[in-house]
Amino acid sequence: MEICAAVEKRFADTLGLNTAAIGRAGIKRIVKEAMKRSGTSDPETYLERLSTSPAEFERCLEELIVPETWFFRDREPFILLKKRLCGQWFPSHPDETVRLLSVPCSTGEEPYSIAMTLLESGIPSPRFRLDAADISRKALEAAGRAVYGKGAFRQPLTAAQETFFSETSAGRRVDETVVRTVHFYRANIIAPLFLAGHEPYHIIFCKNVLIYLTDEARRLALANIGRLLAPDGILFTGHAEMGILLQQGYQTVSHARAFACTRTRIEDRMPHRVPNPGFQICTLHEKVPERPTAPPGSPPAKQPSSAAAIRKTVAPIPTPQTAAVGALHTEALALADRGLFDEAATLCRQYLQEQHPHADVYCLLGLIHEAARRTGEAEECYLKALYLGPDHYETLIHLSLLYRQQGDDRKAALYRQRADAGERRPDGTIGP
């Protein structure tokens, strides 16, 4: 087996990573650098080392995983979070603690943003439990340091949010009042025992991860999410991931660009026990040690001010007519996840020009336009996809969501009805 293919298989089998999202050129670069680092030029020797050395496996893993996150990413999820907790959850649960999970938490920007949102809303830390999990040790170490450069701040902070940071020579440090509220775990979201023993969460942030998983790993991740999300919980996901969750029986929360859904109508479709994957999974589960408190005599931690008291289509296309379309789908969504919308759209247009019109590709192009907030172009692409495939489920779902966000409830209901009708089997069940 050619070494790059062997490495790809190794990570697909153990971590569920769909390395097509990284690209063959990226895999070759990583393997070349890894062989050089290990002092061997023989592919078989390196593969043996990769299989027998946990340290080498982890080094290669860290090269494959590229964190792409920043504070208050997309902003609207945090606005909805504050609205739901302060306006509905806490008034109806006056004596309970809200449980929240961020997975994958990467280098910590997302869980810290969640904590800041709660604290800034006047919710004291004893009233919430915030867990965060990721498979990357390197990312978790960065989260523990809680010091960030300019790349972690891609949109202006509000005055209240600014109070949670202090300037240092290494970057902006997250205040200890925030850091102490987050409990980090090193764990694999597709592992059968992922966060086993943890109580269900009322809020789960799981954004832009399914795009990087194989079909089987995605199934396992969804089963774990279904097991860990409380019956009345809210799941925040990525823009491109809404379709797959809707098909699983989730329903959207009405808040533009929050990309949130509730767990309804899915009890018969989401297994409470994670199925056997049929392959060996990396099942690590480690509690990351809490940051030690400041030694005696250290300056007191700064206290917050009183004011602070792209859907199913993230998966490789389910029934691709060609392998090329599946590869295009994975590569384009990976680019879009990094904010490279024009590059992602160019890949789709090139395929349409060089190959042939394809409903899956027009749907993907519409999704990219929508993520870039080009709603007119998105609608046009979705309609072209439906011209080619009138019953194309993903397009019907995305178009329904688009019209709903625009306030056109009549069209939204029409396309959702068409999607539901297409998904209903003769025996009355609904499913893929």
How many Å separate Cα 16 from the centre of its chain? 14
SS3 breakdown of the chain: % helix, strand, coil, rounded to 5?
Answer: 50, 10, 35
Among 228, 262, 296, residue at a domain's last position: 262
Residue (of 292, 303, 294, 71) closest to 164 by Cα position: 303
- Please provide the DSSP assignment of 28-40 as one string: HHHHHHHHHHHT-
Let me know if residue 282 belongs to a domain.
no
**Claim to verify: residue 36 and residue 83 sit in the same structural domain:** no
pLDDT per position as a tens digit, 89-144: 999 999 999 999 999 999 999 999 999 999 999 999 999 999 999 999 999 999 99
The residue with greater pLDDT, 87 or 291, is: 87
Residue 174 shares a structural domain with residue 84: yes
Asked if 139 and 234 sit in the same domain, the reply is yes
Rounding to the nearest 10 degrees, give the CA dihedral for residues 207, 177, 78, 72: -60
Lowest average pLDDT, out of 16-25, 60-69, 200-209, goes to: 16-25
Percentage of the chain beyond pLDDT 90 is 35
- Here the CATH number for the domain that contains residue 151 is 3.40.50.150
Domain shared by 40 and 149, yes or no: no
Residue 276 lies in a domain: no
Same domain, 235 and 335: no
Domain count, the chain: 3
CATH number of residue 370's parent domain: 1.25.40.10
Ranking 74-78, 141-145, 169-173, 316-320 by mean pLDDT, the lowest is 316-320
Q: 322 and 222, same structural domain?
A: no
Which residues, at least 6 apart from 48, have a Cβ–Cβ distance to it below 8 Å? Answer: none
- Final residue of a structural domain among 228, 247, 262: 262
156 occurs within a structural domain: yes
> Is residue 277 situated within a structural domain?
no
257-310: pLDDT as tens digits: 888 999 764 444 444 555 556 555 666 666 777 765 444 444 544 444 333 333
Residue 356, helix vs strand vs coil: coil
Per-residue pLDDT tens for 200-249? Answer: 999 999 998 887 888 889 899 999 999 999 988 999 998 878 887 887 78
Mean pLDDT over the full length of the chain:
81
In-domain check, residue 386: yes
Range of the domain at 31: 3-64
The sign of the dihedral angle between the CA atoms of 145, 146, 150, 152 is: positive
Same domain (yes/no): 42, 84: no
Q: Please check whether residue 278 lies inside any domain of the structure.
A: no
Last residue of a domain, one of 64, 84, 104: 64
Shared domain for 197 and 89, answered yes or no, is: yes
Residues 334 and 397 in one domain: yes
pLDDT value of position 33 = 86
Q: What is the C-alpha to C-alpha distance for residues 230 and 267, in angstroms, rounded to an integer?
A: 11
Same domain, 221 and 345: no
Weakest-pLDDT range from 16-30, 118-132, 280-294, 365-379: 280-294
Residues 126 and 101 in one domain: yes
Helix axes 3-15, 54-64, angle to 10 degrees: 90
Contacts of 28-33 spanning 24+ positions with Cβ under 8 A: 28/4, 30/60, 30/63, 30/64, 31/3, 31/4, 31/7, 33/63
pTM exceeding the 0.75 threshold for the entire prediction: no
Residue 205 contacts residue 110 (beta carbons within 8 Å): yes
Q: Are residues 92 and 49 in the same domain?
A: no
Confidence of residue 429 (pLDDT cuts 50, 70, 90): very low
Residue pair 396/415 in contact by the 8 Å Cβ criterion: yes
